[in-house]
Amino acid sequence: MSGLNPQQAAAVAYRSGPLLVLAGAGSGKTKVITEKIVRLVREDHLAPNKIAAITFTNKAAREMRERVGKLMKSEQAQELTVCTFHSMGLKFLQIEHEAAGLRRGFSIFDSDDSTSLLKELLPKGAKPDVVDGVRGLISRAKNDVLSPEQAMAAARSPREREAAEIYAEYQRRLGAFNALDFDDLIRLPVALLAGSEDLQRTWRERLRYLLVDEYQDSNPAQYAMVKLLAGPRGMFTCVGDDDQSIYAWRGANPENLNQLSVDYPNLRLIKLEQNYRCAKRILRAANALIANNPHEHLKALWSEHREGEPIRVFECRDDEHEAERVAAEISHLAEKHRAPWSDFAVLFRGNHQSRPLEKALQLLRIPYHLAGGTAFLDRGEVKDTLAWLRLVANPDDDAAFLRAVTSPKREIGSTTLAKLGELAGQRHEGLLKAAERNEVLKVLPARPSAALDGFVQLIRRFRQLSNALPAADLCRKLIEDSGLLAEVRATSRDDSLFQRRRGNLEELAGWLEAARGGGGPGELAAQLALLSHADRDDPGESVRLMSLHGSKGLEFRYVFIVGVHEGSLPHDASLDEGKIEEERRLMYVGITRAKELLHLSYPKRAKRFGEVSKNEPSRFLSEIPAAELHWVGRDAEKDAERREDVAAASLAKLAALFGD
């Protein structure tokens, strides 16, 4: 197998039973997965539509599909299932909707929809943290594959019992709306498969081989889905790295890696330990750090890359000084190496740490992109349009109705909507269906009744058009005829903002145009609802500012990790909860993003609650061998070399400026 090292080749070749590939950072795991798919088709003569590759982000799925597409016939690549767990669940439920008690064209509630519904169910005036807490408990129950009844039985505190009660009513409301939330996309298929051997047989025949990426990030429900789809034969390859498990806070369970050997005693284990990303010095530092965590399966990453420069550590006066030093260093390296801005990343533990960095980069006119800004699907005009599309696709989607009927603004206020909701409840039907009834409209005041009737007529017209027009064309016509575009124009402070927002709407139509599959706007809108927010966030030619969590899966020539001090990394909250191992894994992930050069920094002083306190350097710095670090300002010889380097670069810049 050309281009594969012996361990990678072994992982690709083994296709006769369950396989766990422990793939260290930068070890070429995606190459293994894509090559294995090709071999399954070419050598095992397995039909492409019988293979499913499951990833954790839509971006990873797209990249994997593109890579497979370069290795096999395009028509074969098109038949493959390459998707996220949630997309897999959606596909399952679209096929098995009757077994799930759903009508065709069901809706998917996003986080805002779920939050709005929970606010209705909680006592009036419930604070946001209370709403978020209940939502988190319900989500955790679903990720543990617990029904409302099971969640109540498992409750151990008044808070959990209250959440279980609300969970039951929350599910009843979702059912009435013919809707699901994201967690249901995994929980419900698992529940249906677990309860039906016929479904298990059907889906095991439909998907004969599974490949699962980033398996250490799976939660109990996702593990159950894999096990139910794979069956006792275990025709799967799971790829993961226990050292990169950093999502326990959202339900990930790295123990799933160990559980595989319990459930599948014949499980084969292959380690990928050759790193193709990092300089040797960076890799030694990462290995030394992570060795302080306990391991079921110890890995020793190695590299054939060059030695690399020492890891630079900056002790700074405060966070502003830290940001200035980072910005100056980025400017220097970009000039010296003629490196594009996209070669640089600045990583931090918490998003609040980005503020001084943004200021410092702006002063030096360095373009940057802050990951986690307003995501495309969170933009108001996009959410408004999606609400209209969802309602056209599913008249029972009350959440979509409530947003669409007030976007654009018409003479329909909360009082009218509350009255409409009351009347709809009495009739046990959705809001749109109630609004279509003359006897309901007559009960309402004249002006809002007329506005509501006009809205109903528009929806009726778009539903008719949806049978004749492609989804993208329907979307464009809806944007124009609904008044949404006029609303965008009226609420934009200047023409440039209007053009940007109109461009967002056109991009949405473009997504519908490019969306795979069919079945009308309902299924396409559901697919759009699954898109993770970061997936369509294109940073362009700029320095990347992002959290350590957000950096996973990425790599950069030059990496800066800021705030490497006690209380920040490791974080105080994690220390209080005894989660030092996960914090160490987070640091490990950050270090292994760097290909050539790594900078670590921390402010010696910090202002908290109006008082200045002293920061201690992170314990993680002491866990990295001293020989791999250059503490800037402490080593006279290395500092002198550094000053000469900067001076030479400055002279070169001046010479270029004056054409010398």
Please confirm, yes or no, whether 244 is among the known catalytic residues: yes
Identify whether 214 is a catalytic site residue.
yes
Q: How far apart are CA 376 and CA 354, in angstroms?
A: 20
**List of the chain residues with pLDDT < 50:** 517, 532-536, 654, 656-658, 660
Rg (the chain; Cα; Å): 27
- 8, 29, 67, 284: the catalytic one is 29
Known catalytic membership, residue 63: no
Q: Say what the pLDDT of residue 199 is.
A: 95
| Candidate list 113, 184, 213, 217, residue with the active-site label | 213
pLDDT value of position 388 = 92
Cβ density class 251-274: b for 16+ within 10 Å, e for less: bbbbebbeebbeebeebbebbbeb
Whether the bond between 158 and the residue before it is cis, its omega within 30 degrees of 0, is no
Question: What amino acid is encoded at 567 in this protein?
Answer: G
213 is annotated as an active-site residue: yes
* pLDDT at site 657: 41
End-to-end, the C-alpha distance of the chain in Å comes to 52
CA dist., res. 404 & res. 107, Å (int): 14
Q: Which amino acid is at 376?
A: F
Q: How far, in Å, CA of 358 to CA of 377, rounded?
A: 24
Query: Which tokens in the block code for residue 476?
Result: 């464009």
pLDDT at 350: 86
Residue among 121, 238, 109, 268 at smallest CA distance from 179: 109
Question: Is the bond preceding residue 408 a cis peptide, omega within 30 degrees?
Answer: yes
CA dist., res. 141 & res. 275, Å (int): 38
From the candidates 7, 8, 30, 527, which is the catalytic residue?
30
Q: How far apart are CA 205 and CA 353, in angstroms?
A: 50
CA distance 421 to 430: 8
Alpha-carbon distance of 86 to 517, in angstroms, equals: 16
**CB-based contacts of 442-445 (< 8 A; 24+ apart in sequence):** 443/419, 444/416, 444/419, 444/420, 445/416
Alpha carbon of residue 530 to chain centroid: 10
Catalytic one of 76, 81, 94, 244: 244
DSSP-derived 3-state class of residue 617: strand
Contact indicator for 410, 381 with CB cutoff of 8 Å = no
Residue 291: count other Cβ atoms within 10 Å of its Cβ.
Answer: 15
DSSP 256-312: HHHHHHHH-TT-EEEEE-EESSS-HHHHHHHHHHHTTS--SS----EE-S---PPEE
- pLDDT for 439: 85
Q: Which of 390, 501, 544, 593 is catalytic?
A: 593
Q: How far is CA 291 from the centre of its chain?
A: 28
DSSP track, 487-556: HHHHH-SSHHHHHHHHHHHHHHHHHHHH----S-HHHHHHHHHH--GGGG----SSEEEEETGGGTT--E
DSSP state of 249: G
User: Which tokens go with 501?
Assistant: 């927002």
Give the H/E segment covering residue 150.
helix 148-154
Q: Could you write out the DSSP letters of every residue in 304-357?
A: -S---PPEEEEEESSHHHHHHHHHHHHHHHHHHHT--GGGEEEEESSGGGHHHH
